[in-house]
């Protein structure tokens, strides 16, 4: 069996990748508590010791507020460490699978068509800038890589990086609380994107790594919604009877800018015959599996 290393295997995407790939590959998981991509020497030593065919890096510094506050850390994890991983993968002839974000785009308010892989990035906050730098490092230094730009991830495991596990789980919790208290809930109307269950991204990775078609890909479900529209669909499917009212992003006093529109078009994946479901059907599937 070919070996795959999963970095960040305790995260929401990492844990679903493990579940999806384990039948076909020997999986070696590297958890943050034992392994940090910030340490160049450890990255080299560990990967040379394991000699995997694929290294999947899900690690990132992706709390937007903390990225603004600690930009050095954001660049270390999201950019510099990608050089360490690229060099190590080149030396052992491994393929690096890495994840970037829709936030490498600026998402101006007058935009209403999804970005494809040829559109020019224009990140507007430290997180997006540091992830874009990571992409450039990968493209320039890594011999064999797949870079998947994903967005709005939610998975059963949830992320530790944010106050709530993810947007979907946060809205479920807030919705249930508001239902008991008979309150209305605010939700953002001026951020339009695509929300994706991590299991759908893991399925794409499984197909893509068999192609040898290295490079940069957009990988998100079909369609897009504002945060308000996503929450409305979520509440409908969960039978949560709470009225949502639309607010602008600034209502929550963020310390960073967020794109107004950052939906992505999977133009290159479609050319390979890899299709992703609509965000509404994947949300429905997630909610069914979530209970088990
Ligand atoms: N979440 C989203 O909505 C979203 C949107 C667009 C793109 N992405 C990208 O998708 C990827 C996966 O995101 P995710 O939501 O699955 O993240 P996640 O749940 O937070 O998982 C990241 C994992 O990496 C670990 N990690 C963090 N820093 C590390 C380091 N320096 N060295 C080694 N491991 C480290 C974390 O461990 P600890 O938790 O113990 O620190 C965690 O297990 C990231 O590249 C992210 O930028 C995410």
Q: E strands along 122-161, which residues? A: 145-150, 153-154
Number of H helices, E strands in the chain: 11, 12
Ordered by start, the domain boundaries in the chain are: 3-156+195-223+262-278
Residue 10 CA, ligand 1 centroid: distance in Å: 9
Residue 245 CA, ligand 1 centroid: distance in Å: 31
Most informative mutation of 18, 58, 97, 126 for ligand 1 (most atoms within 8 A of CB): 58
Phi, psi of 98 (to 5 degrees): -135, 160
Most informative mutation of 5, 7, 13 for ligand 1 (most atoms within 8 A of CB): 13
Residue bearing the CA closest to ligand 1, atom 47: 60
Please give the number of the atom of ligand 1 that sits closest to the Cα of 9: 43
User: Is-contact 201 219, C-beta < 8 A?
Assistant: yes
12 Ramachandran zone, left/alpha/beta (phi>0; psi -120 to 50): alpha
Residue bearing the CA closest to ligand 1, atom 18: 11
Ligand 1 binding pocket includes 209 (Cβ within 6 Å): no
Q: What is the pLDDT along the chain (292 residues), one digit of tens a residue?
A: 999 999 999 999 999 999 999 999 999 999 999 999 999 999 999 999 999 999 999 999 999 999 999 999 999 999 999 999 999 999 999 999 999 999 999 988 788 899 999 999 999 999 999 999 999 999 999 999 999 999 999 999 888 887 789 999 999 999 999 999 999 999 999 999 999 999 999 999 999 999 999 999 999 999 999 999 999 999 999 999 999 999 999 999 999 999 999 999 999 999 999 999 999 999 999 999 887 6
Half-sphere exposure of 69 (CA within 13 A, CB side): 8
Residue bearing the CA closest to ligand 1, atom 23: 8
The third-level CATH classification (topology) of the domain covering 3-156+195-223+262-278 is Rossmann fold (3.40.50)
Residue 53 CA, ligand 1 centroid: distance in Å: 22
Residue 179 CA, ligand 1 centroid: distance in Å: 31
For the record, the structure tokens of 253 come out as 């006093």
User: Is-contact 173 33, C-beta < 8 A?
Assistant: no
For the record, the structure tokens of 291 come out as 């209970």
Ligand 1 binding pocket includes 262 (Cβ within 6 Å): no
Ligand 1 binding pocket includes 123 (Cβ within 6 Å): no
Residue 62 CA, ligand 1 centroid: distance in Å: 7
The model carries a pTM of 0.97
Q: Which of 42, 140, 17 is nearest to 86 (CA)?
A: 140
Ligand 1 binding pocket includes 134 (Cβ within 6 Å): no
Q: 213 exposed, middle or buried (CB, 10 Å; 0-12, 13-18, 19+)?
A: middle
User: Is-contact 219 204, C-beta < 8 A?
Assistant: yes
Would you state the pLDDT for residue 115?
Answer: 97
Half-sphere exposure of 223 (CA within 13 A, CB side): 13
Would you state the pLDDT for residue 202?
Answer: 98
Ligand 1 binding pocket includes 94 (Cβ within 6 Å): no
Residue 61 CA, ligand 1 centroid: distance in Å: 7
């Amino acid at each position: 069996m070919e070996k795959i290393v999963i970095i960040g295997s305790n995260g929401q995407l990492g844990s679903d990748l493990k579940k999806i790939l384990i039948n076909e590959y020997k999986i070696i998981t590297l958890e943050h508590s034992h392994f940090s991509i910030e340490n160049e020497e450890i990255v080299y030593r560990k990967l040379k010791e394991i000699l995997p065919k694929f290294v999947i890096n899900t690690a990132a510094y992706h709390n937007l507020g903390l990225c603004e506050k600690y930009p050095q850390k954001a660049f270390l994890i999201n950019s510099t460490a990608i050089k360490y991983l690229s060099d190590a993968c080149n030396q052992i002839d491994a393929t690096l699978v890495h994840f970037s974000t829709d936030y490498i785009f600026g998402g101006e308010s007058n935009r209403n068509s999804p970005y494809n892989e040829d559109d020019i990035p224009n990140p507007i906050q430290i997180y997006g800038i540091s992830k874009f730098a990571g992409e450039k490092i990968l493209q320039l230094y890594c011999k064999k890589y797949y870079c998947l730009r994903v967005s709005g991830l939610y998975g059963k495991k949830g992320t530790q990086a944010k106050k709530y596990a993810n947007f979907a789980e946060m809205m479920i919790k807030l919705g249930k609380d508001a239902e008991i208290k008979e309150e209305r809930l605010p939700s953002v109307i001026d951020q339009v994107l695509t929300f994706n269950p991590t299991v759908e991204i893991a399925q794409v990775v499984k197909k893509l790594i068999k192609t040898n078609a290295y490079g940069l890909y957009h990988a998100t479900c079909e369609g897009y919604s504002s945060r308000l529209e996503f929450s409305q669909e979520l509440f409908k499917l969960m039978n949560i009877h709470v009225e949502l009212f639309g607010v602008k992003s600034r209502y929550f006093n963020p310390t960073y800018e967020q794109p107004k529109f950052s939906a992505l078009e999977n133009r290159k994946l479609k050319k390979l015959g890899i299709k992703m479901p609509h965000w509404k059907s994947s949300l429905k599937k997630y909610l069914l599996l979530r209970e088990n």
